Amino acid sequence: MNNQTFSLQPFPSTESFPHLKITGNISRNANQLTICYNLGGDLKEIAIVPPSNAPSRKYELWEDTCFEFFLGIKDSLRYWEFNLSPAGHWNIYRFDGYRQGMQEETAFEKLPFSVHNQADGLALVLDVDLSKIISAEQAIEIGITIVVKNIDGNVSYWALTHIGEEADFHLRDSFIVKL
């Protein structure tokens, strides 16, 4: 099993939320991927959609506070974007190359994850079997990201690293977690 911790940084030119800290861990055991995000700090200023009684696949979750990760196969242009809303909604998109051929990934009919409100923040945990899209032998590269929207509608973009002149989670060089 490969287990790594992470800490996300805001994109320098977007509004900063100085009292936020976004950390977590990610692991892969064969083809089981587990990722845990911890959004810590004063969340009163953050726009968080309340939990849904009927979580479902939804589009454009990145327009609100959204936990995301990008998963690519090593030495392949193909990658997937996973979107997870604190409300329980989700979606997965498949790309043939950098922002090319975006399609909803239909191999998954549901993406169960849990969201836990804590005294000092919020935790989101996803445990997913990747067998529907990759084999256990394939090395993967992951970019871990979050879009944070405040109650005034301003947005900040958080990632492991920001390598472009604009916040762009799709840049393959930012998929720096190797599992």
Give the helix, strand, coil percentages of the chain, each rounded to 5.
5, 50, 45
Stretch (H or E) spanning 142: strand 140-149
Q: Which domains are delineated in the chain? A: 2-178 (2.60.40.1190)
- What is the CA angle 82-51-131, rounded to 5? 30
CA nearest neighbour of 68 among 149, 131, 157, 7: 157
Q: Is the pLDDT score of 15 beyond 80? A: no
pTM value is 0.96
Question: What are the tens digits of pLDDT across the range 75-124?
Answer: 999 999 999 999 999 999 999 999 999 999 999 999 989 999 888 899 99
